[in-house]
Each structure stands twice: as C-alpha cells, then as structure tokens.
Amino acid sequence: MSERRYHHGNLRAALLAQAETTLRTSGVDGLSLRELAREVGVSYGSPRRHFEDKAALLDALVEVGLQRLGAELAEAVEPDGRDFVEVLTAVAISYIRFATDSPAMVDLMSRSRYLSQAPAALVEAREASFAPVRDLVERGQAGGELVSGDVRRVGTLIFATLHGLATLANNGMIDPLDDRLIADAIQSLLAGIADTDSR
C-alpha cells in the first residue's frame, strides 16, 4: 500500500480508524504507533507527523469518541413532540447503546486522565458532547420534572445510572439489557430526583 494515498490529511483519518479497530480487539495496551504504521501500510515514522506519541494518539481517539457520542445524544434530544420522560429515556438508550457497542472506547474515555487532567481541547470536547444532556436537565428543572439545584450534580446522578447499567451489561451481569429495562431505570431514577415541590 502506497503512502501517497494518505497525502492531504488522509493518513491521520486512516490511523485513527485503524487505532479504533485495534482498541476494540486488543485494548489500549495493543496500540502502538509502529504497529499502526504497519497495519495501515506506511513507513514507521509517518504516524508521528500527526501524533507525537501514543498519548497524543489516545487523546485523538477520545476526541473521536466524544464527537460521536455527542452527535448521538444530540439526535436523541431532537424536539419532536415527545414529553420530557420520553426524551430522557431516548437519551438513556442512546448512551447505553453507545457504551455497549464501544466498551473499549468508553473505558478509554472514562480514564482518570480524561476526567480530571484532560488537555483543554478534550475538556471542551467533553463539554460539547454532553451539552445536549445538560440542556435536557435544565429543561426538566424548568418544567418541574427534576429537582432544582446544580445542573451538573443532577446530570451526574443521571449519568451514573446510565453508565452503571452499561457497565453491568458489558460485564455480562445484565442479559439482555433491553429498552424496557432502561425505561424502568429512568422511571425509578426520576422518582428519586423529581421536583416534588412542584407537583
């Protein structure tokens, strides 16, 4: 395979696509720039034109994952006449499907570096990714569906529930994890964080 094929930016995309495939099959430990170069069919030094080292490659992979998740969450909250509970359930299903379809990617995105020590670009990407959920929480609070207070705190409770279900499913502890179970989890969650003063 000729390296000429990857001029004008194509090499970076090819490396990221192959890196994601390797992540799925071999995990983070299976990733190396040298092996990626071999798999893509370019010289060993070529990946360093785009990624200084493995850490930079992982950062780029996390950004890809965040962008994909953000697009799926944004689609789930599209206004189409559904009520708040229906939209929140759609968001839950969307996140859990993403997490169970791409468990290695979610594990990478959940590493402490990306939660507390992420580069500024990734912090911005994470904020953008979860913006649809934050907006939905604000909508729920404004409509009296969710308890008032810190949006991030309420969002964290929702995320913890969804991530927990996805983790249990990925570990084989929930089988099958169907949409009805997810909807039941949302109903139970809302019973605990509903704005009872407005009802």
Do 72 and 132 fall within a single domain?
yes
If asked whether residues 74 and 164 sit together in one domain, one would say yes
Q: Are residues 71 and 167 in the same domain?
A: yes
DSSP-derived secondary structure for 14-36: HHHHHHHHHHHHH-GGG--HHHH
Quickly tell me which residue has 């090499």 as its tokens: 11
**Same domain, residue pair 19 and 116:** no
Phi, psi angle pair for 129, to nearest 5°: -60, -45
Let me know whether 137 and 175 are in one domain.
Answer: yes
Q: Which residues contact 140 (CB under 8 A, 6 or more apart)?
A: 84, 88, 146
Q: Is 59 a domain residue?
A: no
CATH number at residue 4: 1.10.10
Q: Both tokens of residue 115?
A: 């939660």
Q: Residue 158 class from Cβ within 10 Å (0-12 exposed, 13-18 middle, 19+ buried)?
A: buried
Q: Are residues 16 and 76 in the same domain?
A: no
Question: Is the domain of 37 the same as that of 100?
Answer: no
Note whether 165 and 159 are within 8 A (CB).
no
Q: How far is CA 133 from the centre of its chain?
A: 12
Q: pLDDT tens digits, the chain, 199 residues: what are they?
A: 444 444 445 899 999 999 999 999 999 999 999 999 999 999 888 999 899 999 999 999 999 999 999 999 999 998 788 999 999 999 999 999 999 999 999 999 988 787 778 889 899 999 999 999 999 999 999 998 998 899 999 999 999 999 999 999 999 999 888 999 999 999 999 987 765 555 4
Tell me the C-alpha to C-alpha distance, in Å, between residue 132 and each of 58, 135, 153.
24, 5, 15
Q: Are residues 80 and 149 in the same domain?
A: yes
Claim to verify: residue 10 and residue 92 sit in the same structural domain: no
What domain range includes position 17? 1-51
72 lies in the same domain as 117: yes
Same domain membership, residue 46 and residue 90: no
Which residue matches tokens 């590493």? 111
Same domain? For 76 and 124 the reply is yes
d(CA 129, CA 70): 4
Please tell me the pTM assigned to this model. 0.85
